[in-house]
Amino acid sequence: MIVTITPRKLSGTIAAIPSKSHVHRLLICAALGDRPATLPCRVVSQDIEATMRCLRALGAEIAVDGSVIAVTPLDRNASGAVELDPGESGSTYRFMTPLAAALGRKARFTLHGKLPSRPMDDLWNEMERHGVVIAGKGTDHPVVEGRLTAGRYRLPGTVSSQFFTGLLFALPLLEGSSRVLIADRLESAGYVDMTLAALAAFGIVIGRSAGRFSVSGAQRYVAPAGLRAEGDWSNAAFWLCAGAAGAKLAVTGLALPSLQGDSAVAEILRRMSAKVSIAGDSITVAPAELRETCIDVGDTPDLVPALAVAAAAVKGRTAIVNVGRLRLKESDRVASVCGALNALGGHAVPDGDCILIDGCGSLRGGIVDACGDHRIAMLGAAASVLCSETVTITGAEAVDKSYPGFFDDFAALGGVVRTEV
């Protein structure tokens, strides 16, 4: 799909969609729970579909009725091989790999997009030391076989926090106690905290001390009454950064404090001197003369495409540091963020573990290749608030991975969008 945007001043209010990361976690816990549960979820993205598809394959019954997802838990004693298709969702893939093995199910995966090349080795290696055999590594169809055993796991914390989350869902199901050690330091740590919060809501106790998690075995997932996912800060960040760059925009339904590390965007925009006001669960960002800053995104990698838009609005240099792991996402986001901004007339360059953006307060316009990446397509649209000429986004359907109604919301804010299929 090709989307062409004629630049307009945006204004208005958007209701945040449910947090993809939080919904993944609540669905997984609910599928492992002791009784049926329901989760309000008014937007079902491709990644959430992927998690539901995998949980169904493992035996959960999941029905979407309007804006509510009803989950009847899977049978932990079921046996037999399963086919799991996580689509392009790294989270789903890295959560289901240890989970299927903890359930003792042989799982044949079908991977799409860039997923076959996203890192798995550290997780696989540890699983292979704990009762599991993995075939088809490096192909679109890895196969995981054998029952995972409890014990001592040790993983780097600087590749993907999703390895830790996947193990933390799986290990409480096993007989025996486990420890998960962080070999170095944990980046994207807020995502693991969100996992611990979801597990705690289901009565699962995980010990945490510096550098390790302790998990006692054979725990029960006890479904609480009234599941609720937070509004999604990672996607709201595009509206908030477009607000800082040249539109006054508000997003409602965003909790603060939040389980999501990406809620840091509010503070980052404040540091950049944007006018940020928060009232209840609503946040409004209005443009101002933005200031040069240095932003460490080691814990919030998904914010970078949105922050790049705000950085282009700064008259001066923004240094985004600790970007190494952005290369491991749906696209190489160091390259694709720089490529998208530069295609619009901006000045962004990778510099070691940084992206340096030299903004001048406006952009020209041009053609942005989404590179198969939802957050790059959204970057292109949000950046149009700074452009004098049209912005064309190729591969714009990528937004469906996390935010299927993105261009409808963009139009609701006054954006002028033409779509060609």
Ligand X SMILES: O=C(O)C1=C[C@@H](OP(=O)(O)O)[C@@H](O)[C@H](O)C1
Ligand Y SMILES: C=C(OP(=O)(O)O)C(=O)O
Cβ 248 to ligand Y, closest distance in Å? 26
Question: Which does residue 394 touch among ligand Y, ligand X, none (CB within 5 to 8 A, set by kind)?
Answer: none
Cβ 235 to ligand Y, closest distance in Å? 9
Cβ 79 to ligand Y, closest distance in Å? 28
Cβ 301 to ligand X, closest distance in Å? 5
45 is in an annotated binding site: no
* Phi, psi values for residue 226, rounded to 5°: 70, 70
Residue choice 45, 92, 149, 161 for contact with ligand X (CB under 6 A): 161
d(CA 309, CA 327): 19
25 is in an annotated binding site: yes
Question: Which does residue 384 touch among ligand X, ligand Y, none (CB within 5 to 8 A, set by kind)?
Answer: none
d(CA 72, CA 59): 9
Question: Which does residue 191 touch among ligand X, ligand Y, none (CB within 5 to 8 A, set by kind)?
Answer: ligand X
Question: Which does residue 53 touch among ligand X, ligand Y, none (CB within 5 to 8 A, set by kind)?
Answer: none
Residue choice 51, 97, 149, 165 for contact with ligand X (CB under 6 A): 165
Cβ 19 to ligand X, closest distance in Å? 9
The stretch among 49-57, 159-167, 207-215, 245-253 that binds ligand X (CB under 6 A) is 159-167
Question: Which does residue 375 touch among ligand Y, ligand X, none (CB within 5 to 8 A, set by kind)?
Answer: ligand Y
For residues 72-91, which are near ligand X according to CB under 6 A?
91
Q: Among 92, 55, 48, which residue's Cα sits nearest to residue 72?
A: 55
> Residue 73, CB half-sphere, CA atoms under 13 Å: how many?
17
Active site residues: 302
For residues 166-195, which are near ligand X according to CB under 6 A?
188, 191
Is 301 among the residues that bind ligand X (CB under 6 A)?
yes
Q: How many CB atoms lie within 10 A of CB 412?
A: 13
d(CA 195, CA 217): 17
Is 105 among the residues that bind ligand X (CB under 6 A)?
no
With beta carbons less than 8 A apart as the criterion, state whether 150 and 174 touch.
yes
Applying CB under 6 A, the residues found at the interface with ligand Y are 47, 89-91, 302, 329-330, 375, 402
275 is in an annotated binding site: no
Cβ 35 to ligand X, closest distance in Å? 25
35 is in an annotated binding site: no
188 is in an annotated binding site: yes
258 is in an annotated binding site: no
The annotation places the binding site at: 20-21, 25, 90, 118, 160-162, 188, 302, 329, 333, 375, 401
Binding residues for ligand X, per CB under 6 A?
21, 24, 91, 160-162, 165, 188, 191, 301-302, 325
The annotation places the binding site for phosphoenolpyruvate at: 20, 90, 118, 162, 333, 375, 401
The annotation places the binding site for 3-phosphoshikimate at: 20-21, 25, 160-162, 188, 302, 329
